[in-house]
Chains A and B, each alone.
Chain A
Amino acid sequence: MSVVAQTPKPYSRDWLLSDRPTSRHQARLGRAYIIWRRFSENRLALLGLGIILALLFVAAFADVLAPYNPVQGDLMNARLLPPGSAGYWLGTDDQGRDILSRLIHGSRLTLMVIVLVAVIAAPIGLIVGTVSGYAGGWIDAILMRITDIFLAFPKLVLALALVAALGPGIENAILAIAVTSWPPYARIARAETLTFRNSEFISAVKLMGASPFRIVLRHVMPLCLSSLIVRVTLDMAGIILTAAGLGFLGLGAQPPLPEWGAMIASGRRFILDQWWVAAMPGFAILIVSLGFNLLGDGLRDALDPKEAGQ
């Protein structure tokens, strides 16, 4: 009778895993902790997370980390040096520029492309999907028809045609990729919306007099976020590859910007003798997109254990 329930120390393991959280704060942290536990069991996912954190770090401190100027090289002494040369770990390109420094600065461009595409495409998909799913009827029919049309397009070819019309450049490449990547997000958001559209909490909010606008914005959208984040993370690799492909064709970032795809294109001319000029940026692309794929896989498994291992 006199035994007082032992309240676990705040932020301890027991506090986080408590099945009777005393505050919203505790419940949220507890959920996050469980997801993190599930996520961190997966070594490959942790590796992916590590790669992405490294990318963020490199991009943030590019100026400090890069040993040389990425745009201006040493034409006199450092043309086409092989990897391992003194001072130039990954070698130099035809203009005597340090490839490592260019890769380090190029990480900023890669990050910019990913972030901007996600910031443009994900909200479009979220809005189209939630409105379509919540409204139903002819609004749903029309919006989904449009989504299906864009989904039926081959992404790269559409992006190519768009950039051809808009003119080459990294901003137009970003726009073209964003235009081609929102439809899957809309489909996911709609599917999620449909699962709880008729549930009681929505009816309750409706009874309290919330407008459809408020319901979609405050109650439907937040619930679609987690699956959307997983999908966006999984798509990042594809976005990087498309951007690199556009850069390789000369339609993305223009020289002398150290964009990785464009760097491969410029190294193509002397690939037989100086393979490293084209090879190194490719490794950078491979590692970063692998990182996003591993991270996305891990997130999906952690957030949705039902799908795990499938």
Chain B
Amino acid sequence: MTLTDTTAATRRKRSRSSSTGKAVLRFLVTVVTTFLGLLAVTFFIGRVIPIDPALAIVGDRAPAHVVERVREQLGLNLPLYQQFYFYVRDALTGNFGTSVLTTNPVMDDIRRVFPATMELATVGTVFGALFGIPLGVLAAVKRGSIADQIVRVVGLIGYSVPIFWLGLLSLVLFYAKLRWVAYPGRLDIVYEYTFTPITGFFLFDSLIQGQWDVFWDAFRHIILPGALLGYFSLAYISRMTRSFMLNELQQEYIVAARAKGLSETRIIWFHALRNAGVPLITVIALSYAGLLEGSVLTETIFSWPGLGLYITNSLQNADMNAVLGGTIIVGSVFIAINLLSDLLYRTLDPRTRSR
């Protein structure tokens, strides 16, 4: 009896530890296969779809021996699986080739432009969360009211409007007509050469250096594209907040809290929102990833020197190394944020933990 009990206990213990191991293993497999898949797709786009990538580099009027040499340099005479092996090896060491347009290694270019995109996406997400969460809560609490309808329509328009068009029109209004914001770009030309960035996040850099005029200028530049991107994440965040809050407000603990005589404000903002907060963090993380992507079109409108502008500029100049390098980076960040939000959700919500 006791013997079977202990074996059962050890077996249970072992199965528990192996299930954690399994979960970690499954997570690793997910990361690796997703990343390899990403590389496979970009490999396919860059090497398989074009009829001859060597011709794309040297042009179709190049003499045959030049084309042959370039083919050899690129490893195009190797079988595809070997090419893919080298491709993955290069990508893992951050080698995406050289940009035809800037003549720099693509990775250096990306390192230079990436902070601009992150700064923009961060401002957008902060804006979206700051306004989206209260709006969503309001819509849920006053369900079916005029306020709910307005929040719904504002969100629906956010889902439906072409961002580049809204950007153009807002530039005409707020920059050209009203002069409230600065012209496209990150900084005025005056500061462009006097200001030395440290992290690449200009708002943050100017603050820690105590350069208030630069901070104000950077703020005037980022506010419009940031608010625009923020509107899109607002649409998503407010809709999800409303749905989570509706779910929480139907729970029994809300009735219990009301019976205890807690104020409605306290119930809504401390009890219900706190519980809705866990899935909300996932939503905010996902909208952050979405903004990294949405910045592609926004940056072209606002001449924002980030990854999106880099990719579109390279596109116009048929600079495939740069386009695919940018795609891999955006894709990797996307994957990383997805996985992180998944992990965060599991850590924060005890219900999803495996017992």
Query: A residues engaging B (CB < 8 A)?
Result: 145-146, 148-150, 152-158, 160-162, 164-166, 237, 241, 244-245, 248-251, 261, 264, 268, 271-272, 275, 278-279, 281-282, 285-286, 289-290, 292-294, 297, 309-310
Closest to A291 in B: B160
Q: Which residues of B contact A261 (CB under 8 A)?
A: 162
A264-B323 contact in complex given A249-B300, A275-B172, C-beta closer than 8 Å: no
Q: Which residues of the other chain, B, contact A278 by a CB distance below 8 angstroms?
A: 165, 168-169
If A160-B315, A248-B164, A249-B315 touch, whether A148 touches B34 (CB-CB below 8 Å) is: yes
A119 vs B340: C-alpha distance when bound (angstroms): 34
Q: 8 closest pairs, A vs B, by CB?
A: A149-B37, A282-B165, A154-B293, A289-B160, A290-B160, A165-B49, A161-B327, A165-B45
Known: A149-B41, A152-B338, A278-B168. A244 touches B159 (CB 8 A): no
Among the interface residues A150, A164, A241, which one has the most CB atoms of the partner chain B within 10 A? A164
Shortest B181–chain A CB gap in Å is 15
| CB atoms of B338 and A161 under 8 A apart | no
Asked whether B157 is an interface residue with its Cβ less than 8 Å from the other chain, the reply is: yes
Contact of B160 among A156, A271, A279, A293 (CB under 8 A): A293
- In the complex, whether B197 has a CB less than 8 A from a CB of chain A is no
B157 touches A290 (CB 8 A): yes
Residue numbers in B under 8 Å from A153 (CB-CB) = 38, 41, 331, 334
List the B residue with the shortest CB-CB distance to A260.
B162
Residue of A152, A165, A310 touching B335 (CB-CB under 8 A) = A152
Expressed in whole angstroms, the Cα–Cα distance for A145 and B312 within the complex equals: 30
With a cutoff of 8 Å between Cβ atoms, the chain A residues found around residue B296 in the complex are: 156-157, 160, 245
Expressed in whole angstroms, the minimum distance between the Cβ of B152 and any Cβ of chain A is 8
Q: Which residues of B contact A279 (CB under 8 A)?
A: 165, 169
**A271 surroundings in chain B (CB, below 8 A):** 168, 171-172
Interface mask (B222-260 → A, CB under 8 Å = 1, otherwise 0): 000000000000000000000100110000000000000
Number of A-B pairs, beta carbon distance below 8 Å:
140
**B123 close to A (CB within 8 Å):** no
CB-CB under 8 A from A249, the residues of chain B are 297, 300, 312, 315
Q: Which residue in B162, B169, B176, B294 is a CB contact (below 8 Å) of A244?
A: B162
- Is there a chain A Cβ closer than 8 Å to B113's Cβ? no
B37: A residues at CB distance < 8 A:
145-146, 149-150, 152
Within the complex, the shortest CB–CB distance from B276 to chain A, in Å, comes to: 13
Whole-angstrom distance between the Cβ of B199 and the nearest chain A Cβ: 24
B284 within 8 Å of A (CB atoms) = no
13 examples of A-B residue contacts, CB within 8 angstroms: A148-B34, A153-B331, A164-B318, A165-B49, A165-B320, A272-B176, A281-B165, A282-B169, A286-B160, A289-B159, A290-B157, A294-B156, A309-B246
* In the assembled complex, B7 has its CB within 8 A of some CB on chain A: no
Chain B interface secondary structure, helix, strand, loop or mixed? helix
Task: Determine whether the beta carbon of A149 is less than 8 Å from that of B169.
Answer: no
Q: 8 Å CB contacts to A: which residues of B63-110?
A: none
Report B306 CB to chain A, min CB distance, Å: 13
B285 contacts chain A at the CB level, 8 A cutoff: no
B330 proximal to A (CB < 8 A): yes
Q: How far is the CA of A148 from the CA of B300 in the complex (A)?
A: 29
Select from chain B the residue with minimum beta-carbon distance to A149: B37
**Residues of chain B with a CB closer than 8 A to A285's CB:** 161-162, 165
B324 CB within 8 Å of chain A: yes
Query: Knowing A248-B297, A264-B168 touch, does A154 contact B160 (C-beta < 8 A)?
Result: no
State the Cβ distance, B308 to closest chain A Cβ, in Å: 9
Measured CB to CB, the closest approach of chain A to B38, in angstroms, equals: 7
Asked whether B42 is an interface residue with its Cβ less than 8 Å from the other chain, the reply is yes
Most buried by B among A146, A155, A275: A275
Which of A164, A250, A310 is in CB contact (< 8 Å) with B243?
A: A310
Interface residues of B in 283-301 (CB under 8 A from A): 289, 292-294, 296-297, 300
| Assembly CA distance A187 to B58 (angstroms) | 43
Q: Enumerate chain B residues within 8 angstroms of A156, measured Cβ to Cβ.
A: 293-294, 296-297
Given contacts A165-B49, A249-B300, contact A154 B162 (CB under 8 A): no
CA distance A241 to B324 in the complex (A): 22
Specify which chain B residues have a CB less than 8 angstroms from the CB of A237 in the assembled complex: 159-160
Q: How far is the CA of A306 from the CA of B129 in the complex (A)?
A: 28
Task: For the A-B complex with A145-B37, A153-B38, A249-B312 known, give 17 more contacts whose Cβ atoms are closer than 8 Å.
Answer: A148-B34, A150-B37, A152-B338, A154-B289, A156-B293, A157-B331, A161-B42, A164-B323, A165-B49, A237-B159, A248-B164, A249-B300, A261-B162, A264-B164, A272-B172, A275-B172, A286-B161
